[in-house]
Structure 1
Amino acid sequence: MNDEPRAVAERYARRAAEGVADRYSPLRPEVWQTLHERQRALLRGLAAQGFTDLSALRLAEVGCGSGGNLLELLRLGFAPQHLTGLELLPERHAQARHVLPAATTLWLGDATAAPASVVAPGSQQLVLQSTVFSSLLDDAFQQRLADAMWSWLAPGGAVLWYDFTVDNPRNPDVRGVPLARVRQLFPQARVQATRVTLAPPLARVVCRWHPALYRVFNSVPLLRTHVLAWLHKG
């Protein structure tokens, strides 16, 4: 049996040894502009869904990493006791536990095996994944994770999806997840999607010329490689 969680851990360890993490430092101009663009799109989406009290929303994040997205949600007004993070890698889980409030639930392990005491079926208004599925190379495991996420949603809730859609020929440890694949993973979802994020290799080049060029190039939709999607349940 293919052990995809173990394979994911090995891929991340290999990338860490290669020093890839520096590419994602928020001190880099292309990174902070990507983060700001995604945050604006998220806020527009929350407003469009009619959410007025973010502190009342229950949200679980698959692959919460060191807690960056959950910290961002706290700043936006989500309540710590209504946030849950699930993380496969022990070192990232430990970092998240260090920076997040004690009231925020964190679980270490394969999200598909998370017990109901951590995330109960039908308990969440939102389930977030950010560049997790592009790191999963096993189709069957992708589907198991999608099914688990869908089961956690309450009727009227939504999976909040952010991931890239095209392959990176320089990185065999990831693969793009086209919108057609997203629809296949969540066949019952009503999908609203928008393209965001200037292609990172291009963003790194243009920001070396001048950070302001990020917005110029990102104004061309065909140069955006990621999708921010709301996958509605019911």
Structure 2
Amino acid sequence: MSCADDEPDAVAARYARRHDGDRYSPLRPEVWQTVQERERALLRRLAAVGLRSLAPLAITEVGCGGGGNLLGLLRLGASPEHLTGLELLPERHAQARHVLPPATAVWLGDACVAPVPPASQDLVLQYTVFSSLLDDAFQQRLAAAMWRWLKPGGAVLWYDFTVDNPKNRDVRGVPLKRVRALFPEGRVHAERLTLAPPLARAACALHPALYRPLAAVPGLSTHVLAWIAKPA
């Protein structure tokens, strides 16, 4: 068995070691501001590509977690029956299945072998999944699956951090150069977002209003939101 074959089990083991507490609670000011900033950027990108409704779009999320991103798409008008969530971790899959509508498919297991038909999806999302994958070959395998699922003219919606976290060896940054290498046929539009989390936590502990001006300072944002379009 190759290292790439082992990677799903390794990811599960790394997540089992995590003890995040309330660090990612949406009630924390640095968290809700990060989410709102990302949603604003997404809405700008949807408008820029001429989308006026998500209702007819088939959308799959890789690593859907507890279902929060898919719930956000439902609020933006996506149709439950056109959404699919793929999740590796059983406890997160159970949470997503609990909160998402019955018409939304939620699949448990390695996304590389998920039963998503080729050329069937208008959008494929990944939010901070690839930074949790430490095996290059598995990253490539997953990217190839995501690209295969897309219809011509569809797009991968990518959100992930680009720099390493020296305090967490279970993740690694995915620079934009790597994103382009994973999707060599894609047309990439990328926007830097998200104030560096340690700085965001410190700033918002003083006052939540500090987040936005600091996030506007070049060099302080650690993530990228990328729209990776598949040629029609």
Q: CA deviation at 1:216?
A: 1.5
CA distance in 1, matches of 2:218, 2:45: 18
Contact 1:150-1:159 at 8 Å conserved across structures: yes
1:5 aligns with 2:8: yes
- Determine helix, strand or coil for the equivalent of 1:23: coil
TM alignment of 1:133-144, pairs within 5 A: 133-144=130-141
CA distance in 1, matches of 2:145, 2:12: 20
Q: CA deviation at 1:221?
A: 2.5
Contact 1:133-1:163 at 8 Å conserved across structures: yes
CA distance in 2, matches of 1:78, 1:53: 8
1:92 aligns with 2:89: no
Match for residue 14 of structure 1?
17
Match for residue 213 of structure 2?
216
Cα–Cα, structure 1 residues 127 and 21, in superposed 2: closer, same or farther, change >3 Å?
A: farther
Bigger drift between 46-55 and 169-178 goes to 46-55
- Determine helix, strand or coil for the equivalent of 1:180: helix
1:181 aligns with 2:178: yes
CA distance in 2, matches of 1:231, 1:85: 19
Cα–Cα, structure 1 residues 21 and 182, in superposed 2: closer, same or farther, change >3 Å?
A: farther
CA distance in 2, matches of 1:77, 1:191: 25
Match for residue 158 of structure 2?
161
Q: CA deviation at 1:20?
A: 1.1
- Name the aligned partner's letter for residue 112 of structure 1: C
**Segments of 4+ in structure 1 off by > 4 A?**
none
Q: CA deviation at 1:132?
A: 0.1
- Name the aligned partner's letter for residue 72 of structure 2: E
- Name the aligned partner's letter for residue 25 of structure 1: S
Match for residue 57 of structure 1?
57
- Name the aligned partner's letter for residue 24 of structure 1: Y
CA distance in 2, matches of 1:109, 1:10: 14
1:110 aligns with 2:107: no
CA distance in 2, matches of 1:212, 1:66: 28
Summarize deviations over 1:124-166 as a string: whole Å, max 9, x none.
Answer: 0100000000000000000000000000000000000000000
Match for residue 101 of structure 2?
101
Q: CA deviation at 1:53?
A: 1.9
Summarize deviations over 1:26-69 as a string: whole Å, max 9, x none.
Answer: 11100000000000000111111111121011100000001000
- Determine helix, strand or coil for the equivalent of 1:213: helix
Contact 1:38-1:196 at 8 Å conserved across structures: yes
The gaps in structure 1 that reach 5 residues or longer are none
1:130 aligns with 2:127: yes
- Name the aligned partner's letter for residue 65 of structure 1: G
Match for residue 66 of structure 2?
66
Contact 1:195-1:221 at 8 Å conserved across structures: no
Match for residue 226 of structure 1?
223
- Determine helix, strand or coil for the equivalent of 2:224: strand
Match for residue 76 of structure 2?
76
Equivalent pairs counted in the alignment come to: 228
CA distance in 2, matches of 1:86, 1:220: 35
Match for residue 30 of structure 2?
30
CA distance in 2, matches of 1:160, 1:191: 10
